[in-house]
Structure 1
Amino acid sequence: MLLADLRAEVAHYARKMYESQLVRATQGNLSARDPASQLICITPSGADYQLLTAEDIIVLDEQGTIIEGKWKPSVETPLHTFILSQRRDINCVMHSHALYTSAFGVAYQPLPMILQESAACLGGDVPIVPYQESGTQAFAELVAQTLGDGPAVIWGNHGAMVVGANLALTFSIAHALEDTAHIYTIARQIGTPVPIPADEVAKLHKHWLESYRQVALDKPVATG
């Protein structure tokens, strides 16, 4: 089987997305690029996340042509391939439907940096992509423009997307995004949330890029 290890890892993290409620039912999608071949492994359309195995993951080329796989790839394939083509610094794209993050997309409120750990990996307020029908090239370009060189965007009236150098980091960033949205919502009920100053966020993010990210990249990721 082509790219068996990477396909198993994508299936593993897709199951983790479901187990941690970043997605529900058949929502969301996940992809990872193999740096050596530049081929992309992506979740199938309408898949039951709890049952996903390596054999269910589709292998595509950079243009979205199926190289190997028995299912139809995610309807968001144009988004994944375009984002990966525009961002050579990352290898993974995760689209989630986490509840609190999605609420910020309904309110069209960018997510401020209120937590030290989240500020370190997110690097700044998370912007909102205006609503547009997804699954199209036009939407992919709109998301890429809003994302810029950042790690995350929230989709208006839909969900969110995070990107990362590998699957472990991408999964962590998705949780940092949801944790921030959740805690901000709770804090609003208590009082007025106080964001971390922008210069401190920049310092935290710089440290994360130079330190924690390199450590994560050097370590193998368990898929058991």
Structure 2
Amino acid sequence: MLLPDLREEVARYAQKMYASGLVRATQGNLSARDPSTQLICITPSGADYQTLLAEDIVVVDAFAHVVEGRWKPSVETPLHTYILRRRPDIHCVMHTHSLYASACSTVYQRIPMILAESAACLGAEIPIAPYQISGTPEFAELIANTLGDGPAVIWGNHGAMVVGTTLALTFSTAHALEDTAQVYAIAKQLGTPVELSREQITALRSHWLQGYQQTSIEEKAARS
């Protein structure tokens, strides 16, 4: 089996997406690129996240052609591969239907940086792409352009997508997005949420990136 370790990790994080409420039923999808081969492991279409195994994960190339797998890959595979081709700085793409981020997508409510932890992880206000039917080349270009070089994007009237260098970081980013959306919705009922300044966000982001880079070095050393 090609890329057994990465396929197992994708299956494990897909299960974590379901268990933590980032997706429900068979919603959403998750992919990770192997830097050495440039092959991409992605969840299958209509996957039951609770029973997903490594052998259920589909391997595709950079242009969404199936290389190995017993199931059809996610219908959003062309979007995942398009973003990964555009973003050599990241290797993972996660599409979620988390409740509060999805709610923001229906009212086109921007998600400002009001929490220090989320500002450190996300680094900036999250852009919102206008609604468009998914699964088309035009949709892939729209989402990639709206995402730009950032870590997350809201899909209008749909859900959200986050990207990252590792599955662990991508999973954390998805929760940072959902936590901010939820706290913002609650805070607006209590008063006027105070947004962090651009300078504060920049300082938080810089400090967080330094800590994350150090953690990555330590993890690599532990595995070697």
Q: What are the ranges of 5 or more consecutive residues in structure 2 without an aligned counterpart?
A: none
Helix, strand or coil: the match of 1:219?
A: helix
Q: Distance in 2 between matches of 1:197 and 1:138?
A: 35
- 1:121 deviation in Å? 1.0
Aligned to 1:25, the other structure's residue is in SS state: coil
Task: Provide the residue aligned with 1:88 in structure 2.
Answer: 88
Q: 1:31, 1:43 within 8 Å by CA — same for their partners in 2?
A: yes
Q: Distance in 2 between matches of 1:138 and 1:95?
A: 17
1:60 aligned residue: 60
Aligned to 1:114: 114
CA distance in 1, matches of 2:155, 2:7: 27
Name 1:145's counterpart in structure 2. Answer: 145
- Aligned to 1:21, the other structure's residue is in SS state coil
RMSD: 1.0
Amino acid paired to 1:67: V
Query: What pairs with 1:149-188 in structure 2 (closer than 5 Å)?
Result: 149-188=149-188
Contact residue 131 and residue 155 of structure 1 kept, 8 A: yes
Judge which range, 178-187 or 203-212, deviates more: 203-212
Question: Residues 166 and 217 of structure 1 are in contact (CA less than 8 Å); yes or no, is this contact kept in structure 2?
Answer: no
Name the CA distance, whole Å, in 2 between partners of 1:71 and 1:214: 38
Matches for 1:187-202 after TM superposition, within 5 Å: 187-202=187-202
The 1-side partners of 2:207 and 2:142 are apart by 30
SS of equivalent to 2:180: helix
Kindly indicate whether the alpha-carbon contact (under 8 Å) linking 1:169 and 1:216 is maintained by their aligned counterparts in 2: no
Note the C-alpha offset of 1:219: 1.9
Per the normalisation by structure 2, the TM-score is 0.96
Distance 1:201 1:28, change over 3 A: same
Quote the Cα distance in structure 2 between the aligned partners of 1:81 and 1:163. 12
The code of the aligned residue for 2:147 comes to L
CA distance in 2, matches of 1:95, 1:161: 4
Report how many residues are paired.
220
Aligned-residue offset at 1:153:
0.5
Give 3-state SS (helix, strand or coil) of 2:41's partner.
Answer: strand
| Counterparts of 1:33 and 1:217, CA distance in 2 | 19
User: 1:210: Cα distance to partner?
Assistant: 2.5
- In the TM superposition, residue 211 of structure 1 has moved relative to its aligned partner by 2.4
Residue 39 of structure 1, CA deviation: 0.2
- Equivalent positions of 1:27-38 (< 5 A) are 27-38=27-38
Match of 2:133 in 1: 133
Residue 135 of structure 1 aligns to a residue in which SS?
coil
What is the TM-score when the length of structure 1 is the normalising length? 0.96
Q: Give the aligned partner of residue 219 of structure 1.
A: 219
CA spacing shift, 1:124–1:2, aligned 2, 3 Å? same
